Amino acid sequence: MLRLYDNLSSGNGYKVRLLLSLLDVPFERVELDIDRGETRTPQFLAKNPNGRVPLLELGPGDRIAESNAILCYLAEATSYLPQARRARAAMLEWLFFEQYSHEPNIATPRYWITHNLLTADRATVLPEKRRLGHAALAVMERHLAAHPFFVGEAPTVADISLYAYTHVAPEGGFDLGPYAAVRGWLARIAAIPGYVPITAWVGREVTMEEASARAPAASL
């Protein structure tokens, strides 16, 4: 069975949980407290030297880091990963946009605020983060005003990736009221069978100690 090292509040972790749920793929989940530095312990760094979640463990010694890479792996041979060359390139465009223009400016303020990490230095750069975040939302709004999803007529991993932090953007101080097309798209994603909210989890949980004691059996 697949094993996901995760933090329930993490939008990047949520991307993976959401796609696994939509695909009805069973998995074990290991919760790591990022506020207590549990992703920076020698035990976890041996699994992911970058010290971040999510991390998907496929089998003994076989792990994938980086949320969008995990999405692409899980979506292989499903409708969430376009097969046509041009459509796949369009999907990748949006994945790179999410990591470069969207996530740093929308997810970061949310993290600072919801984890009580808004220091004086960070407060000085918050207006610029929000300006750039709204610029990213405007790009999304223009696209979604003419398209139901980001690539083609059905959701792909581009939508899963961008949904994760967009739907909780108000927690970082972003008003989604002016973005009618974005709000309509959020509703379409939430209506997909198998959808789960970001903090909802029903399934098998294992501790880090249990995870270290036994290796998962590969299932994909």
**Residue 71, Cβ density class (10 Å: 0-12 exposed, 13-18 middle, ≥19 buried):** buried
Average pLDDT over residues 51-60: 97
pLDDT, position 219: 56
pLDDT, position 205: 84
Residue ranges and CATH numbers for the domains of the chain are: 2-78+196-213 (3.40.30.10), 85-190 (1.20.1050.10)
Q: How many CB atoms lie within 10 A of CB 83?
A: 9
Question: Residue type for 3, please?
Answer: R
pTM of the model: 0.94
Mean pLDDT of the chain: 95
Read off the pLDDT band of 218 (50, 70, 90). Answer: low
pLDDT, position 163: 98
Read off the pLDDT band of 209 (50, 70, 90). Answer: confident
- DSSP per-residue codes, 52-94: -S-EEEEETTEEEESHHHHHHHHHTTSTTS--SHHHHHHHHHH
The lowest-confidence range among 99-103, 132-136, 183-187, 211-215 is: 211-215
